[in-house]
Amino acid sequence: MHLYAGLVPGRATTFNPTLYQAGRPLELQVRKSYSPDLPSRVTATISKVLSMTMSVVLDVTFQTRHGLPVHHVLKLYDRRFGSCLREVDGDRVAPHTQENEAAFEAFVRRGMMPGFLRHRHERNDPEESVLPVGAREFLDEPNRTEGLAKYEAALWQDCSEHFECETKAYHRLAKLQGTVVPHLYAYVSLLSATKPATIIPPEVAPYFEVRGILLERIDGYCLDNLTLGPLPKNLRTWQHIIQLAADAAYEINKHGIIMEDCTPRNVVVDGKSQTPRIVDLAQCMFRDEMVSEWYKSGWHEDEDWDPELEYWEQVSTTCNPGAIAAVMANRIYRKTGAKLEFRYPDWSEIFAKIRRRREEAAARARKTPRRQGR
């Protein structure tokens, strides 16, 4: 049984209240800005809590350098909150408590974090383990306090990786911001996060930092909720919107990114233009990093192996466009009985083009005379 699957009889437990409630101000330090209108420090007021699953997603308002109020979406990678992030068994969630935080702080102060993070990273190496080590597994440790500390440490690592992944994805999709994905305005850190009980050394301060991003606010609706409303006069309206969402996912693939979490719930549709945006990029694989790992594993020693072909085979297997359109097609069929057809990438033709280019390049290389050394 998990040590924190529920309250422990005979033990007083004090839960930490959430910081994220409508009307509450949050102090943000702007770490990197992509907008000249953003001051270095922002007081953002929460207008609405949009989601608290893997991360905290908030609709916020604040003033620019010119004193103008603006609406943005603030996404925070906060290990302390999140129904999916802190799920331990089915639908049960291990809430963040004062006991958890005290155990984590003591763990950090003892200098245990670097070694723990290194060890978990090695255990999660795909070549070493088929199944990654989830944070919840540390709650099974015999020493309760140590288990709670490692649980929080693992969640910190997960949140850190999600932040690094999402910011990397937005950087690589700079040309698609505003059309396929929202605009990214800044990287921020939360200044009003719960602070440690006493002063801590600067080298461990990052373990208590909550990082986040400021994004364009899309006024519209989630694609996941499309079939919950009334039927349109013409189902082609739905078909067009869903096709655009599938095309957006494919466009991201063409920029060297495969989304590991790609579903209709991660698509927001602009209410005016009826055009979709992909809004969750915290769990992705990147082509250059994948190729690097393949070379390290010696895949290139097979003379018939091609990294570009391998990447697109991975893309076709994951099929981000289908993860959106096929799911929505099934829902629409159940609701209306209508079978909508969607256009997907022609994987066979994509593979054939890659092979033809490879053959043409090899033929040119054979025809080009080698320069004789002097």
pTM metric for this prediction: 0.90
DSSP letters spanning 259-287 = ESS--GGGEEEETTT--EEE---SSEEEH
Q: Can you read off the two tokens belonging to residue 329?
A: 């097609």
Using CA atoms, how far apart are residues 282 and 167, in angstroms rounded to an integer?
8
Using CA atoms, how far apart are residues 13 and 7, in angstroms rounded to an integer?
7
pLDDT tens-digit map of 300-318:
899 889 999 999 999 999 9
Q: Which residues of 327-342 are buried (b: 16+ CB within 10 A; e: fewer)?
A: bbbebbeeeeeeebeb
Tokens 């690592």 locate to: 157
- Strand 284-286 and strand 257-259: the pairing is antiparallel
CA dihedral 257, 261, 265, 266 (to 10 degrees): -30
Q: Residue 47 has what DSSP assignment?
A: E
Quick check: 305 and 295 in contact, CB under 8 A?
A: no
pLDDT tens-digit map of 225-244:
998 888 888 899 999 999 99
> What integer pLDDT is reported at residue 4 of this predicted model?
33
Which residue type is seen at 82? G
Using CA atoms, how far apart are residues 267 and 182, in angstroms rounded to an integer?
11
Long-range contacts of 149-152, Cβ-Cβ distance < 8 Å, separation of 24 or more: 149/103, 149/104, 149/106, 149/107, 149/112, 150/107, 150/116, 151/4, 151/94, 151/100, 152/79, 152/96, 152/100, 152/101, 152/103, 152/104, 152/107
355-366 mean pLDDT: 86
Quick check: 153 and 113 in contact, CB under 8 A?
A: yes
pLDDT tens-digit map of 249-272:
999 999 999 999 999 999 999 999
H or E element, residue 190: strand 184-190
pLDDT tens-digit map of 165-194:
999 999 999 999 999 999 999 999 998 665
Output the CA–CA distances (angstroms, integers) from residue 131 to 61, 70, 127, in the order listed: 41, 43, 10
Which residue type is seen at 250? Y
Q: Which residues of 50-67 are buried (b: 16+ CB within 10 A; e: fewer)?
A: bbbebbbbbbbebeeeee
CA atoms within 13 A on the CB side of 339: 0
Residue 103 has pLDDT above 50, yes or no: yes
Quick check: 185 and 38 in contact, CB under 8 A?
A: yes
- Short-list 117, 51, 120, 48, CA closest to 81: 51
Quick check: 283 and 165 in contact, CB under 8 A?
A: yes
Largest CA distance in the chain: 86
- Short-list 79, 34, 72, CA closest to 187: 34
The contacts of residue 178 (CB under 8 Å, 6+ apart) are: 216
Residue 164 has pLDDT above 90, yes or no: yes
Q: For the chain, what is the mean pLDDT?
A: 90
Q: Residue 225 has what DSSP assignment?
A: G
Using CA atoms, how far apart are residues 172 and 329, in angstroms rounded to an integer?
30
pLDDT band at 202 (very low <50, low <70, confident <90, very high): confident
Domain extent listing, the chain: 25-215, 220-367
Using CA atoms, how far apart are residues 333 and 325, in angstroms rounded to an integer?
12
pLDDT tens-digit map of 118-141:
999 888 776 655 677 899 999 999
Using CA atoms, how far apart are residues 58 and 278, in angstroms rounded to an integer?
17
